[in-house]
DNA sequence: GGTGAAACAACGCACAT
DNA sequence: ATGTGCGTTGTTTCACC
């Protein structure tokens, strides 16, 4: 089963998820209007989705470039040595690291970082080379920055 | 200037951003209590941050694995041909694509996708090979899934 | 899930600084 | 220009059906 038995993902729950992914601050009363339920009923459903771990949080999305973080980059870390746990902990603590994935294949570890300057990138790469060799790719643009997760078709539509 | 002249990023605005990145549904009144301002004053500041493009939205964060999307992957697309605009538009429409970056260097185009099955991955890769060759890396784990953007030190702390 | 009542929050406005 | 106080409107939360 892909979801808790207490939270069947019916049409209404999918719709609530879509609405909250689009505007997390929408009041329960307005959610209720859009799905045809009373506000308390919506609150109950949303709280169940939270408790079931389907909704993991509500986040204001912020534009780093408006806050002085002019660079965004991916750094692939090809790790040498066998201190992977130490590396993982250390990299996770770096304030520039927004996301950090462990992947299959050659890439292994990938960081998404935001930086105020090339100087800061230089300093970061020097810190990282303790753990292995790095490959840096700057983000030029984001054709898709975010997509709402929805029920979706079981089969993908043709191009 | 990295921000609008109407929205100086003082300590209070940074604190509001941190609070809203942690819990986007926090009421203005509670935000006010935490930063030592009245609710209307907070609402004013938050609305300015929205209008200045610092806050770009409020999103419920959802766990794809609890909704049947058991696979998450990065797909690097090494594009042949010169129909980059057509490719970008087509890839952007694919429902499995959660994020899509255009990067410097060899990697060029990178997709983060969520999938219900390996079968769906197979179908997606077949669709993508029209545009070039792909390299797929499955996400094994996410040591850092998200980090609050904060004022941060100008210089990064040592490891 | 719905309903009603009490507590709380959001919004607009006048006014103080 | 930014924050406060207050009154009105709308929302949340709890009981209970």
pLDDT tens, position by position, A51-101: 999 999 999 999 999 999 999 999 999 987 778 999 999 999 999 999 999
**The overall pTM is greater than 0.85:** yes
Is residue A37 in some structural domain? yes
DSSP-assigned states of every residue in A43-54: HHHHHHHHHTTS
- Asked if residue B99 and residue B33 are part of one domain, the reply reads no
Is residue B41 within 8 A of residue B92, CB to CB? The reply is no
Chain A CB contacts of B107 under 8 Å are: 74, 137
What is the Cα–Cα distance from B125 to A5, expressed in whole angstroms? 33
Is residue A70 in some structural domain? yes
- Asked if residue B20 and residue B79 are part of one domain, the reply reads no
B29 touches strand C (CB under 7 A): yes
Distance in Å from C14's C1' to B152's CA comes to 40
- Asked if residue A91 and residue A42 are part of one domain, the reply reads no
What pLDDT is attached to residue B154? 60
What is the Cα–Cα distance from B76 to B118, expressed in whole angstroms? 17
Is residue A122 in some structural domain? yes
B144, A92: Cβ pair inside 8 Å? yes
- Selecting from B54, B67, B96 the residue whose C-beta is nearest the C-beta of A66 gives B54
Question: CB under 8 Å to B91, separation ≥6 — which residues?
Answer: A143, A144, B77, B97, B100, B109, B111, B128, B131
Residue A155 has pLDDT above 70, yes or no: no
Number of domains present in the structure of chain B? 2
Q: How many residues does chain B have?
A: 159
Is residue A97 in some structural domain? yes
- Asked if residue A70 and residue A43 are part of one domain, the reply reads no
Is residue B83 in some structural domain? yes
What is the Cα–Cα distance from A145 to B131, expressed in whole angstroms? 21
What pLDDT is attached to residue B2? 45
pLDDT tens track for A120-138: 999 999 999 999 999 999 9
Domain extent, residue B134, equals 64-138
- How many CB atoms lie under 10 A from the CB of residue B72? 18
What is the Cα–Cα distance from B31 to B38, expressed in whole angstroms? 9
SS3 assignment, position B4: coil
- Asked if residue B78 and residue B33 are part of one domain, the reply reads no
- Asked if residue B133 and residue B68 are part of one domain, the reply reads yes
Is residue B76 within 8 A of residue B135, CB to CB? The reply is yes
Q: Which residue of A lies nearest to B121 if distances are taken between CA atoms? A: A156
Residue B1: pLDDT band (50, 70, 90) is: very low
A40 touches strand C (CB under 7 A): yes
């Amino acid at each position: 089963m892909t979801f808790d038995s207490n939270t069947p993902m019916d049409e209404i729950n999918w719709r609530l998820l879509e609405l909250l992914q689009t505007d997390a601050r929408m009041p329960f009363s307005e959610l209720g209007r859009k799905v045809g339920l009373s506000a308390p009923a919506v609150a109950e459903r949303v709280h169940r989705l939270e408790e079931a771990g389907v909704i993991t949080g509500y986040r204001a999305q912020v534009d780093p470039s408006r806050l002085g973080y002019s660079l965004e980059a991916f750094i692939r870390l090809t790790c040498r040595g066998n201190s992977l746990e130490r590396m993982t902990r250390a990299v996770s603590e770096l304030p520039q690291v927004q996301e950090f994935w462990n992947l299959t294949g050659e890439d292994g570890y990938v960081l998404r970082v935001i930086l105020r300057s090339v100087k800061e990138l230089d300093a970061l790469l020097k810190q990282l080379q303790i753990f292995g060799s790095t490959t840096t790719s700057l983000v030029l643009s984001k054709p898709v920055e975010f997509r709402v997760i929805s029920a979706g078709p079981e089969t993908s539509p043709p191009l």
